[in-house]
């Protein structure tokens, strides 16, 4: 059952239960993985995800003292680790809907219920290599697209992201998670987040104004204000240090306004109503160049292939990639 194509691939395995950890590690090695690093301590797992370079991460959800879904979410958000696009498989004993929901919302590629066979493991790994789901970006999620396609459903542009496992197993260098490829894909992800947040601030501001007509709606108004504050704070985190950092001062002004509205349990003043309409619009306009590119599909294979061609031709790689990215994504 060994697949020699996995020989150059590496995996990180976390499981606090000794026998399960050893069995899973043995299974991965027997399936063909060249290196499998196994750990039982959640702090060690976090350190390895921060500093290690792996093609696959596997973890048991039901591990005491570890919030695995939070760690995976941090990996996907590029808060920890060098590669937010690393393949992730999580193991479950408990298949309750809320537990499964945590796994999916964290951004895992796949989940496997225990007990499992080596055949199941190999099948899932081959699926990650040959048919990995593209990634999507929403206000609260970044990871594999697990939506059920429904007729008339609004289309969300997808992203073909670096996949170091597939790159090694199928010898596809255009999918390799090189530092440059990761930077471009992360840039595209962040720009989509910025576009989403700025659009939401405009819509939410209109809702706050509509909910300011009577005292009966002040509770609902506060709920919308809370969401606006969350989105505004997240937006600042994405634009700081970028070419769109000029909107940070506008975000700070909006935050001050929202705090003032939150304290007041009364109709909006005319001045506040006017500012609540103008500031989110100004923020959106300040990031207007991103709205067009956010609606485009992203495919790292195309960009990376051009890097490889540039290298073969002896051309300045970074300049070639920058120009291609500008032409394709704005």
Domain ranges within the chain, ordered by starting residue: 4-169, 187-291
Q: Assess contact for 169 and 129: CB atoms under 8 A.
A: yes
- Per-residue pLDDT at 330 exceeds 60: no
Q: On the CB side of 132, how many CA atoms lie within 13 Å of its CA? A: 27
Average pLDDT across the chain, whole number: 88
Q: Assess contact for 132 and 109: CB atoms under 8 A.
A: yes
CA 28 to chain centre: 26
pLDDT tens, position by position, 270-296: 999 999 999 999 999 999 988 877 777
Q: Under DSSP, is residue 299 helix (H, G, I), strand (E, B) or coil?
A: strand
- Per-residue pLDDT at 236 exceeds 90: yes
Q: Which two tokens stand for residue 271?
A: 């001045």
Q: Under DSSP, is residue 49 helix (H, G, I), strand (E, B) or coil?
A: helix
| Main-chain phi, psi angles of 61, to 5 degrees | -70, -40
The number of beta carbons lying within 10 Å of the beta carbon of residue 19 is: 8
DSSP-derived secondary structure letter, 247: G
pLDDT tens, position by position, 5-58: 999 999 999 999 999 999 999 999 999 999 999 999 989 999 999 999 999 999
Report, as an integer, the average pLDDT of 239-267: 93
- Per-residue pLDDT at 74 exceeds 50: yes
pLDDT tens, position by position, 195-235: 999 999 999 999 999 998 777 888 899 999 999 999 999 99
Q: Assess contact for 124 and 87: CB atoms under 8 A.
A: no
Q: Assess contact for 310 and 317: CB atoms under 8 A.
A: yes
CATH number of the domain at 187-291, out of 1.20.1260, 1.20.120, 1.10.3470, 1.25.40?
1.20.120
Give the separation between CA 286 and CA 122, rounded to whole angstroms: 48
pLDDT level of residue 257 (50, 70, 90 thresholds): very high
Alpha helices in the chain (DSSP H): 18-31, 42-51, 68-76, 97-106, 118-131, 164-169, 179-210, 218-239, 248-263, 270-286, 288-294, 300-312, 317-329
Q: Assess contact for 191 and 293: CB atoms under 8 A.
A: yes
Q: Which residues of 114-129 are buried (b: 16+ CB within 10 A; e: fewer)?
A: eeeeeeebbebbeebb
Closest listed residue to residue 266, CA positions, set 310, 227, 222: 222
pTM, 2 dp: 0.86
Q: Which two tokens stand for residue 176?
A: 């390799």
Q: Which two tokens stand for residue 254?
A: 């909006």
CATH placement of domain 4-169: 3.40.50.2300
């Amino acid at each position: 059952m060994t697949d020699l194509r996995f020989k150059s691939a590496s995996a990180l395995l976390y499981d606090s239960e000794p026998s399960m950890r050893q069995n899973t590690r043995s299974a991965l090695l027997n399936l063909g993985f060249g290196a499998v690093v196994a750990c039982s301590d959640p702090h060690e797992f976090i350190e390895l995800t921060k500093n290690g370079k792996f093609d696959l991460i596997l973890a048991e959800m039901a591990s005491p003292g570890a919030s695995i879904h939070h760690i995976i979410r941090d990996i996907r958000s590029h808060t920890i680790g060098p590669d937010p696009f690393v393949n992730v498989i999580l193991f479950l004993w408990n298949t309750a809907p809320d537990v499964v929901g945590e796994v999916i919302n964290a951004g895992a590629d796949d989940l496997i219920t225990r007990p499992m066979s080596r055949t199941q493991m190999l099948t899932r790994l081959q699926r990650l290599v040959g048919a990995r789901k593209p990634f999507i970006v929403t206000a609260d999620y970044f990871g594999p697209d697990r939506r059920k396609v429904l007729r008339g459903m609004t289309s969300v542009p997808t992203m073909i992201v670096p996949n170091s496992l597939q790159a090694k197993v199928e010898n596809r260098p255009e999918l390799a998670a090189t530092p440059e490829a990761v930077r471009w894909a992360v840039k595209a992800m962040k720009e989509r987040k910025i576009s989403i947040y700025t659009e939401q601030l405009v819509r939410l501001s209109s809702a706050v104004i509509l909910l300011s007509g009577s005292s009966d709606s002040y509770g609902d108004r506060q709920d919308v204000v809370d969401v606006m504050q969350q989105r505004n704070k997240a937006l600042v985190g994405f634009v700081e240090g970028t070419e769109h950092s000029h909107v940070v001062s506008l975000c700070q002004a909006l935050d001050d306004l929202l705090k003032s509205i939150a304290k007041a349990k009364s109709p909006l003043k005319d001045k506040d109503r006017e500012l609540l309409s103008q500031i989110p619009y100004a923020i959106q306009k300040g990031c207007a160049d991103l709205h067009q590119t956010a609606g485009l599909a992203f495919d790292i294979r195309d960009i990376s292939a051009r890097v490889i061609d540039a290298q073969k031709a002896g051309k300045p790689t970074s300049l070639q990639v920058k120009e291609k990215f500008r032409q394709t994504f704005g």
